[in-house]
Amino acid sequence: MRTIHFTLNDEAVSAQAAEHHSIVDVLRDRFDLFGARESCAQGLCGCCTVLVDGTAVSGCLYLAAFVDGKTVTTIEGLAQNGKLTPIQEAFLETGATQCGFCTPGFVLMAGQLLAAHPDPDDEEIRHYLSGNLCRCAAYPEIIAAVKLAAGKLRAGRL
């Protein structure tokens, strides 16, 4: 066991974590944050996506000890004062959520994509999100959501 100190969704926190625990274990067991879910457990499906120092990682393959001193952002940290981000709004407006299990991962990865490519075409969206799986197969709606979000974000920057 060790104590890890990190910034979680803009708040300085510390937690007891065993060396063999993943960041997903710690988020669920110590902070009651259930948005990052371990699904495939192999880094393939993207359901456990969290941002570490602003970069997307598969939380199921990331030891909790490695976030010591770093910044962790989960899906729960995106909305500010109860207001959803344009990407979250776009997922709702296009019906891209379906059962919702994979949605946190898709929303976080879409955020990474749009930060790097503010106006992505279908091919770029497919390439970027190819590491996220949606078992409801809401892929057409997800691509539409990312495009809608891109428009909202570009409009917000004007």
Partner 1 sequence: MTPFELAEPKTLKEAVGLLDADDPTVRPIAGGTALMLMMKAGVFRPSKLVSLRAIKELTSIEIVKGELTVGATTPLAVLEHSEAVRMHAPVITRALRTLSNIRVRNVATVGGALAHADPHMDLPPVLIALGARVVVQGRSGARTIPVADLFAGYFETVLAKDELIASLIVPAQDGRRAAYLKCTTRAVHDWPALGVAVSVAADGKAIKNASIVISAATETPMRMSAAEKAASGATDDAALRRAGDAAAAEAELISDGQGSAAYKKELVRVYVARALRAALGAA
Question: In which region does residue 110 sit, left (phi positive, over 0), alpha (psi from -120 to 50) or beta (all else)?
Answer: alpha
List residues bridging with 73 in a β-sheet: 51
Mask: binding to partner 1, 115-144, rule CB under 8 A, as x and -?
------------xx-xx-------------
* 9, 29, 41, 136: which one binds partner 1 (CB under 8 A): 41
Single out the residue of 63, 68, 41, 34 nearest to residue 53, CA to CA: 68
Please say which residue, 51 or 145, places its beta carbon nearer to partner 1. 51
Candidates 5-13, 53-61, 76-84, 92-100; binding stretch for partner 1 (CB under 8 A): 53-61
Q: Contact between 49 and partner 1 (CB under 8 A)?
A: yes
What count of other Cβ atoms lies within 10 Å of the Cβ of residue 126? 14
**Angle (CA) 104 25 53, round 5°:** 60
Amino acid residing at 143: I
By CB under 8 A, is residue 60 in contact with partner 1?
yes
71: nearest Cα among 13, 18, 21, 112? 13
- Select from 29, 39, 61, 84 the one that contacts partner 1 (CB under 8 A): 61
Binding site for partner 1 (CB under 8 A): 2, 18-20, 22, 41-44, 46, 49, 55-58, 60-63, 65-66, 109, 112, 127-128, 130-131
